[in-house]
Copies of this chain bind each other. A is one copy, B any other.
Amino acid sequence: MIIDEYMQKALYEAQQAAAEGEIPVGAVVVKDGEIIASAHNNREQTGDATGHAELIAIREACKVLGGWHLEKCTLYVTLEPCPMCMGAIINSRMGEVVYGAKDAKAGACESVINMCAYPLNHKPKVTGGFMSEECAKLLSNFFTNKR
């Protein structure tokens, strides 16, 4: 599988979120070329403030691998992670993060905070803006339809 297909699967998760009335953000965790976890926002349905795609996918990946170290994994997510999710990425020692659209309101990779600039105990490799148009379009369509 190539990198586009991982983000396509994350986009598919984001579409599922939209269909469920959730802000359309999706994420997958990849290890050794395989998607081991995938998730989308579920905050409104679950009433859980931590129900973001990345956090759910990270918890799922830990379960699949039977431990909390995700050094050899890459997270693909359609939107720049918020501080909570970047914190979870750092806590799980995630090797790499690839995200789509920037989040001007809560992005913790560059837009509001650059969390990797701080002396925390892990720094994932981060690539932003990957397939960002498709990722951003899902979000803008969702909010346009909401109005």
Contact = CB atoms under 8 A, between A and B. Distances in A.
A68 B87 contact: no
A83 B49 contact: no
A25 to B, nearest CB: 13
Contact of A47 (B62, B86, B88, B93): B62
Interface stretch (A110-118, A123-131, A133-141): A110-118
Contacts of A113: 113, 115, 118
B108 A87 contact: yes
Interface in A56-101: 58-59, 62-63, 65-70, 82-88, 90-93
Given A58-B50, A91-B50, A106 B120 contact: yes
Nearest to A105: B121
A55 interface: yes
A83 B83 CA distance: 6
Interface size band for A: 35 or more
Given A43-B68, A68-B43, A113-B113, A88 B50 contact: yes
Interface string A30-61: 00000000000001001111111001001100
B49 A70 contact: yes
Given A59-B50, A118-B113, A91 B87 contact: no
B48 A59 contact: yes
Contacts of A83: 83-84, 86-87, 90, 108, 115, 120
